[in-house]
Amino acid sequence: MGHGFQHIFGISRLAYFGGAVFAVIIILQYFEFPYGDVISSLFSASKIHISYGTNRTSSNCTTDNATTTLTSPQILLDSNMSETYKNASNLVHNFTKNESPTRDIFPSVNLSAVTEVHRKKQKVKVVSISEMHDILIHNRASSHPMKSLWTSRADQELLNAKLQIENASFNEDDRTLYPSVFRNISKFRRSYELMEKTLQVYIYKEGEKPIFHQPEAVMKGIYASEGWFMMQMKSSKRFITKKPKQAHLFYIPYSSKLLKATLFPNSYNRESVVPYLKSYIDMISRRYNFWNRTGGADHFLVACHDWAPDETRQFMGTCIRAICNNDVQKTGFELGKDVSLPETNVRYRQNPLQNRGGNPPSKRSVFAFFAGKMHGYLRPILLRHWENKDPDMKIFSKLPKVKDDKNYVDFMKNSKFCICAKGSEVNSPRVVEAIFYECVPVIISDNFVPPFFEILDWESFAVFVPEKDIPDLKNILLSIPKKRYLQMHKRIKEVQQHFLWHVKPVEYDIFHMILHSIWYTRVARKSLWTSRADQELLNAKLQIENASFNEDDRTLYPSVFRNISKFRRSYELMEKTLKVYIYKEGEKPIFHQPEAVMKGIYASEGWFMMQMKSSKRFITKKPKQAHLFYIPYSSKLLKATLFPNSYNRESVVPYLKSYIDMISRRYNFWNRTGGADHFLVACHDWAPDETRQFMGTCIRAICNNDVQKSGFELGKDVSLPETNVRYRQNPLQNRGGNPPSKRSVFAFFAGKMHGYLRPILLRHWENKDPDMKIFSKLPKVKDDKNYVDFMKNSKFCICAKGSEVNSPRVVEAIFYECVPVIISDNFVPPFFEILDWESFAVFVPEKDIPDLKNVLLSIPKKRYLQMHKRVKEVQQHFLWHVKPVKYDIFHMILHSIWYTRVARVM
């Protein structure tokens, strides 16, 4: 009986579980599918397939053998897009409303089959073409500039300081400094003088206490450097300015210790505090233009808590980060940009100098001393080798707790060598404590960057012992001659002044030294000399913005352009000015092998690469002359070569990261602008995902260009035409189509059922209306002749998105002189920044598929004929030629990249 009950109970539990799973599926389908009946979609042949993130053949007529694969659906909003644009209204038709539809436009059309169905609310906001243009203008005005070329007064002062520091001459007027502890005392002295004379710091007023603006809460203990610096920076009359335009540096006055203690006192997840700091950066970058102007490169923070590197790396990593946890290998600490902050253990807030100093060398009876908690992996190793093993080596775990740590302090004051062994992180307050008590520090912490490393010669007053040499520690210390030891002890006393907090700051003290490190880093990294290439871009921008109208060029048609004068002037300047450097690095076939991808729907990658590499006009072998740097890789071949059977888009990211790491180590071009003057041309569906993380600062010419979901950034990225090249030897073969009067098909579509949208299109229109030739797949014939014949004989060619927003049908429709009807919400059309797409194409929101025929019928005959004529006029800009010709697709892609580069220069 008991077994029977258990059996029934098990079945019941299984039934409940199955019911719950079924309910979840119903809910998910309700939210995922924008149309249709949920229940029927589960069980009928008309089920809607959601297939975001695929590698697909985009048309019925493709020669590419890529397969469809399913990855997780994602809805991504561009973080740079304002709320106004994120909440943009749905697409509207670009028709004149007072032009009523008439039956005599298309007399053969049957109206009776036009149906309507229930429409579900869509989750992703739809952005119209006109709104996209507004976003483009907005983003270009507010996004991170590629280079700040107009030199402000503050910039010029930094440049002058840099020149004076580099040419500093030696003098001995200042007797308070000791040359023996400096790398170059002349440069330091001149830099310090210029800092006192020049530096102006703007402190953001934003930020809530206690995390921001409350230094008094963190002025004791091992993280006290945060509080003392903040207090003395905020009270400085010499360095603070209330006029941010005069500022050389911008201070973000937060405490890393208080951030954790306030928000997540019991958490061990360092990522938990990141959103809070991100929201702060978002707020100040919306409120002011200072962060955006340099991408945060002239901002700084001072944070001593162990979490500081992790919490600031993602959204504040461009700042100058003065941090205590400064492992050059593990924490993302960047030598030359970040600053090593001294970790000071302040015991007496009212008098931080209390108990300073120690016995002279002759009265230091302890050879070597360490005491501390067993944090990290290293200290237990130290104790295993030396605790109670040698009377000269006073190595303890913890000393008994006494008032003011008097026993610990006495050891420090009476030891010749003070062992500074890393704990959980590389830094330790013992380093500064040893100097404070005039004990020679012995630093055992691989990859630790000592404070003020850029100007102090640490090896003149400290001992560095590799972690692996702990077993030989005593012998290493004994090997130091007495004369050398006395010299090091003397230098400890000389360098001590630079590590002392004073209630009121004094010259060369720790406050001024921290500030100097930040100033020195800012001056050293500021690239203010405007190169010839930069000046040419600036001149081009001014000429384009002031272009005057002329009609000399009869090969261009004003009706298809937003502003033909600006385009013509920009194109002329591109031909006259632009120089592109192509990286030679990269292994075939992923790099430098265009011939492998010159047919099929991803052919734009191969044709552009081939014609770019063979261009004599635009290519330069002198990178210093270059306005742009081309990364010549194929997104299609990257996947096909490395992961032909993988459906994980992230799988290729490490390969591209290693390439970027390699060129940024080998050259300085990437690092100079953070990649902002580099570009790539990639048509595979995976391109946005594989380039977003480590190549996202580039100008990315990509086919998969959903303005909402793929991370495509209007104003920075470029919409690449997806061209299906059938004949490599003659890409123009079979171009053109019948005149409007001989186009007997009203509307046509044929293609594989990729994505969620095409099944909806077929459900409403396949075999429902004789005027609407809507098919899934046509029978396979040579050269897709049946498909091509339909394109040549149709008035409207339906370009319905597949797995991704773009489709080769858009360019195919233009190629065969058929008016394209684009059904793909948030698709950014190619050359969008200069072409007026609404003058020659129809944009239909996805939600209006049930009303598609009526939408097309509402276009008056005069308007249709005008659009058809403009399709023929714009066609020249979408054609590949074996040898490039003026205004062809190669030059138009390159122009989009050039135009973006010029527009973003400030």
Note the Cα 475 to chain centre separation in Å: 50
What pLDDT is stored for residue 526 in this prediction? 53
Q: Give the confidence band of 352 by pLDDT, cuts at 50, 70, 90.
A: very high
Dihedral sign from CA coordinates of 549, 132, 806, 783:
negative
Helix or strand holding residue 370 (H, E): strand 366-371
What pLDDT is stored for residue 905 in this prediction? 76
How many CA atoms, within 13 angstroms, populate the side-chain half-sphere of residue 802? Answer: 29
What pLDDT is stored for residue 436 in this prediction? 98
Order of all β-strands in the sheet with 366-371:
393-396, 366-371, 415-421, 440-444, 463-464
- Other Cβ atoms less than 10 A from the Cβ of 385: the count is 16
What pLDDT is stored for residue 531 in this prediction? 65
Least confident span in 132-141, 168-177, 663-672, 716-725 = 132-141
How far apart (Å, rounded) are the C-alpha atoms in residues 813 and 395? Answer: 80
**Domain extents in the chain:** 2-32, 140-149+532-547+565-722, 153-346+515-525, 361-499
Q: Give the confidence band of 331 by pLDDT, cuts at 50, 70, 90.
A: confident
What pLDDT is stored for residue 33 in this prediction? 34
Q: Give the confidence band of 35 by pLDDT, cuts at 50, 70, 90.
A: very low
Q: Give the confidence band of 85 by pLDDT, cuts at 50, 70, 90.
A: very low
Buried-exposed string 217-238: b where 16+ CB fall within 10 A, e elsewhere: bbbbebbbbbbbbbbbbeebee
In the numeric block, the tokens 């209630």 are attached to 503
Confirm if 449 and 402 have CB atoms less than 8 A apart: no
Helix segments in 710-859, DSSP class H: 757-765, 785-793, 809-815, 852-857
Confirm if 448 and 327 have CB atoms less than 8 A apart: yes
- Other Cβ atoms less than 10 A from the Cβ of 817: the count is 21
The residues facing 335 across adjacent strands are 338
How far apart (Å, rounded) are the C-alpha atoms in residues 393 and 386? Answer: 7
For residue 71, is pLDDT > 60? no
- Other Cβ atoms less than 10 A from the Cβ of 742: the count is 9
Q: Give the confidence band of 648 by pLDDT, cuts at 50, 70, 90.
A: confident
The secondary structure of 219-231 as a DSSP string is: -SBTTHHHHHHHH
Q: Name which of 112, 136, 68, 11 is nearest 828 in CA terms.
A: 136
Least confident span in 99-108, 687-696, 859-868 = 99-108
pLDDT digits (tens, 9 = 90+) for 842-871: 999 999 999 999 999 999 999 999 999 999
Helix or strand holding residue 657 (H, E): helix 653-666
The residues facing 581 across adjacent strands are 629
Helix or strand holding residue 774 (H, E): strand 772-775
Q: How does the average pLDDT of the chain come out, rounded?
A: 84
| Average pLDDT score over residue span 633-645 | 93
Beta strands in 399-522 (DSSP E): 415-421, 440-444, 463-464
Q: Give the confidence band of 253 by pLDDT, cuts at 50, 70, 90.
A: very high
CATH of 361-499, one of 3.40.50.300, 3.40.50.2000, 3.40.50.620, 3.40.50.1980: 3.40.50.2000
What pLDDT is stored for residue 552 in this prediction? 65
For residue 394, is pLDDT > 80? yes
Q: Give the confidence band of 564 by pLDDT, cuts at 50, 70, 90.
A: very high
Confirm if 560 and 839 have CB atoms less than 8 A apart: yes
What pLDDT is stored for residue 172 in this prediction? 61
Helix or strand holding residue 628 (H, E): strand 628-630
What pLDDT is stored for residue 406 in this prediction? 95
**Measured between alpha carbons, how far is residue 332 from residues 307, 311, 326, 466 in Å?**
12, 11, 8, 21
The secondary structure of 852-880 as a DSSP string is: HHHHHHTS-HHHHHHHHHHHHHHGGGG--
| Average pLDDT score over residue span 41-65 | 31
DSSP 50: P
Least confident span in 138-142, 143-147, 166-170, 575-579 = 143-147
Helix or strand holding residue 582 (H, E): strand 580-582
Confirm if 523 and 191 have CB atoms less than 8 A apart: yes
CB neighbour list of residue 107: distance below 8 Å, 6 or more residues apart: none
CB neighbour list of residue 82: distance below 8 Å, 6 or more residues apart: 138
Which has more confidence, 271 or 532?
A: 271
